[in-house]
């Protein structure tokens, strides 16, 4: 047996059109009579919807995407705290509107602040004035590649000992 005689089991012969009526695909060669589809090059372009405005033209030409996990913060500057509140404990948390403390302005009063989020400069300024900031929604710290790898290996070893 030679290599030319080998045949795949997953092979399906292509349809040979225009080889006589006895083949079942003669005369019109599976194209029907007349019309655009029977002519050479008579196929419609992808996306053509018969003269109706195509979907890709109905869609707006906007770029990018909307992040569904986005959190909108209301910004309050450190300088505004000085005018709005007296010295002492300030609770800026709100279930409907998240509040972020920003470091624009100066602060001289001693505040103990509860806030959803705060910038590093704002925390620094308040601590410098003798106050304290409690941030409720802290971001997770990103671990470097080596730390993540070591944790994976440790977890694998723990699973082996448990099994």
Residue 22 is given by DSSP the state G
Q: What is the pLDDT at residue 142?
A: 75
How would you label 46-68 residue by residue, b for 16+ Cβ within 10 Å and e otherwise?
A: eeeeeeeeeeeeeeeeeeeeeee
Give 69's pLDDT tier (boundaries 50, 70, 90): confident
**HSE of 83 in the Cβ direction (CA atoms, 13 Å)?**
7
Answer yes or no: is pLDDT of 163 > 80: no
| Residues composing the chain | 163
Instruction: In whole angstroms, give the CA distance from residue 74 to residue 70.
Output: 13
Answer yes or no: is pLDDT of 139 > 90: no
Percent of the chain with pLDDT over 90: 42
The three state secondary structure string of 32-64 is: CCCCHHHCCCCCCCCCCECCECCHHHHCCCCCC
Q: What is the pLDDT at residue 96?
A: 84
Instruction: In whole angstroms, give the CA distance from residue 68 to residue 137.
Output: 18
Write the pLDDT tens digit of every residue in 76-135: 999 988 888 888 888 988 888 899 999 999 998 899 999 999 999 999 999 999 999 999
> Residue 103: which of 75, 84, 131, 130 has the closest Cα?
75
pTM of the predicted protein model = 0.49
Which tokens sit at 144?
């470097």
| Domains, the chain | 73-135 (3.100.10.10)
Residue 46 or residue 141, greater confidence: 46
All residues at 6 or more sequence positions from 31 whose CB lies less than 8 Å from its CB, including other chains: 37, 38
Q: What is the pLDDT at residue 126?
A: 92
Instruction: In whole angstroms, give the CA distance from residue 102 to residue 124.
Output: 11
Average pLDDT estimate for 19-37: 91
Instruction: Tell me the pLDDT of the chain averaged across its residues.
Output: 88
Average pLDDT estimate for 16-22: 92
């Amino acid at each position: 047996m030679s290599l030319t005689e080998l045949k795949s089991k997953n092979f399906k012969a292509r349809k040979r059109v225009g080889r006589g009526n006895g083949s079942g695909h003669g005369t019109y060669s599976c194209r029907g009579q007349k019309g655009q589809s029977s002519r050479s090059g008579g196929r419609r372009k992808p996306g053509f919807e018969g003269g109706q405005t195509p979907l890709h033209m109905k869609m707006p030409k906007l770029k990018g995407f909307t992040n569904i996990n986005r959190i909108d913060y209301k910004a309050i500057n450190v300088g505004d705290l000085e005018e709005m509140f007296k010295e002492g404990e300030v609770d800026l948390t709100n279930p409907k509107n998240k509040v972020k403390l920003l470091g624009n302005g100066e602060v001289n009063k001693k505040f103990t602040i509860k806030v959803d989020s705060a910038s590093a400069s704002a925390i620094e300024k308040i601590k410098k004035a003798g106050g304290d900031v409690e941030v409720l929604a802290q971001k997770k710290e990103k671990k470097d590649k080596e730390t993540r790898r070591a944790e994976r290996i440790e977890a694998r070893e723990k699973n082996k000992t448990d099994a």
